[in-house]
Amino acid sequence: MRPKVFVTRKMRDAGLKPVLEFCDADVWEDEMPPSREVLLEKVRGVAGLLSMLTDRVDAKLLDAAGPQLKVVSNHAVGFDNVVVADATARGIPVGNTPGILTNATADLAFALLLAAARRIVEAEKYIRDGKWKTWHPSMLLGMDLTGKTLGLVGFGRIGRAVAKRAVGFDLRIIFYDPTGKPEFGAIKMNSLDDLLRASDFVSVHTPLNDSTRHMVNADFLSKMKPNAIFVNTSRGPVVDQAALYEALKAKKIFAAGLDVTDPEPLPLDSPLLTLENCLIVPHIGSASEKTRDAMARLAAENLIAGLKGERLPHCVNPEVYENRRQTTDDRTWN
């Protein structure tokens, strides 16, 4: 009998096909995610769950699924939507999709930086609003990148890929990441404060966790240079949005480029949407066809490996395998 799984959104065929071949899959077809109630109902009795970053996976959901649940495969590299400790406590491996979306996300961070520095969205709107009367030496002046300092907070896969791009733009690159190693000529800073005071552009590439929630607050923003640009492609809750609004409104910093907000979607009455110096796109960091194919494929591989009782290609809680071995050992000893 094929294992029962629930796939919380219709993903790309590259990943959906192998899942449909190997599993008895219930695939949520709506554009909107299943509500919490529906999710709790849909997971009942499944052996595998393929979740999106919009689904909260916690003890209640895992218990609603039942003890036969063997794997959770998250269709994202970020896994802040999963309470990993709850899965680990139940011996359930959690998969994610690192690496394959690094370049796409770094490209988008760079696109936001360039767009904010050169006021691209404002300039495009300028034409559509009928304001383009002539060429003028002081029309829509922005900022050069060449020679400026880019500060990367988080120097993991995506942070380093942004650094690689920055080399070609003749940026000086500094980073803050306690465990990160210098690469692409980037200089490691000893503290976040040092990075903020020295950077013309600050781009955040950390996961969302207890150490980074609201890391970008009024204090953080007050340490940035007066003409600095802030870019966020990590997670919305890394930023205290009210503080960012105040800093942008008062022109304490030049501009911001955001791929992620809190909440998502950003309500249309969000004060951020009243600002010309705040550029916002709807969480499209990994949104290219090739990258979404690769994510779907990897999410399927993680799911199927878990169902077969094999080690997941990318597991965020490998300690579940240690615990399993210990349990077996304990059994042998008793």
Tell me the catalytic residues.
235, 264, 283
- DSSP assignments along 232-274, one per residue: E-S-GGGB-HHHHHHHHHTTSSSEEEES--SSSSPPTT-GGGG
80, 38 contact by CB (below 8 A)? no
Distance between CA atoms of residues 224 and 215, nearest Å: 13
Residue from 7, 47, 50, 208 in contact with ligand NAP (CB under 6 A): 208
Distance between CA atoms of residues 45 and 67, nearest Å: 8
Residue from 110, 155, 230, 254 in contact with ligand NAP (CB under 6 A): 155
Which of 334, 304, 319, 295 lies closest to 75 in space, CA to CA? 295
Task: Residue 151: name its binding partner from ligand NAP, ligand GLV, none (Cβ under 5 to 8 Å by kind).
Answer: none
Distance between CA atoms of residues 142 and 119, nearest Å: 6
Q: Is the dihedral of CA 152, 55, 10, 265 positive or negative?
A: negative
What residue type is 242 in one-letter code?
A
Ranges within 300-329 binding ligand NAP (CB under 6 A): none
φ, ψ dihedrals at 251, nearest 5°: 55, 35
- Our CB check for ligand GLV shows the closer of 226 and 265 to be 265
Which of 307, 301, 331, 306 lies closest to 318 in space, CA to CA? 306
- Our CB check for ligand NAP shows the closer of 3 and 257 to be 257
CA 234 vs. chain centroid, Å, equals: 4
What residue type is 78 in one-letter code?
G
**Which residues are registered as beta bridge partners of 57?**
82
Question: Closest approach of Cβ 240 to ligand GLV, in Å?
Answer: 20
Ranges within 273-292 binding ligand NAP (CB under 6 A): 283, 285-286
Helix 102-117 crosses helix 157-168 at what angle (to 10 degrees)? 50
Residues 6+ apart with CB under 8 A from 299: 11, 15, 50, 73, 74, 75, 95, 97
Task: Residue 208: name its binding partner from ligand NAP, ligand GLV, none (Cβ under 5 to 8 Å by kind).
Answer: ligand NAP
φ, ψ dihedrals at 74, nearest 5°: -95, 130
Task: Residue 205: name its binding partner from ligand GLV, ligand NAP, none (Cβ under 5 to 8 Å by kind).
Answer: ligand NAP
Task: Residue 206: name its binding partner from ligand GLV, ligand NAP, none (Cβ under 5 to 8 Å by kind).
Answer: ligand NAP
Interaction between residue 98 and ligand NAP (CB under 6 A): yes
Residue least distant from ligand NAP (Cβ): 156
Question: Closest approach of Cβ 53 to ligand NAP, in Å?
Answer: 8
Interface with ligand GLV (CB under 6 A): 53, 76-78, 101, 285-286
What residue type is 194 in one-letter code?
D
Distance between CA atoms of residues 284 and 261, nearest Å: 12
- Our CB check for ligand NAP shows the closer of 3 and 286 to be 286
- Our CB check for ligand GLV shows the closer of 253 and 300 to be 300
- Our CB check for ligand NAP shows the closer of 209 and 327 to be 209
Number of residues that bind ligand NAP (CB under 6 A): 31
Interaction between residue 332 and ligand NAP (CB under 6 A): no
- Our CB check for ligand GLV shows the closer of 171 and 298 to be 298
Task: Residue 292: name its binding partner from ligand NAP, ligand GLV, none (Cβ under 5 to 8 Å by kind).
Answer: none
Residue least distant from ligand GLV (Cβ): 78
φ, ψ dihedrals at 49, nearest 5°: -125, 125
Interaction between residue 236 and ligand NAP (CB under 6 A): no
Residues of this chain that interact with ligand NAP (CB under 6 A) are 77-78, 98, 101-102, 105, 153-159, 176-177, 179-180, 205-208, 211-212, 233-235, 259-260, 283, 285-286
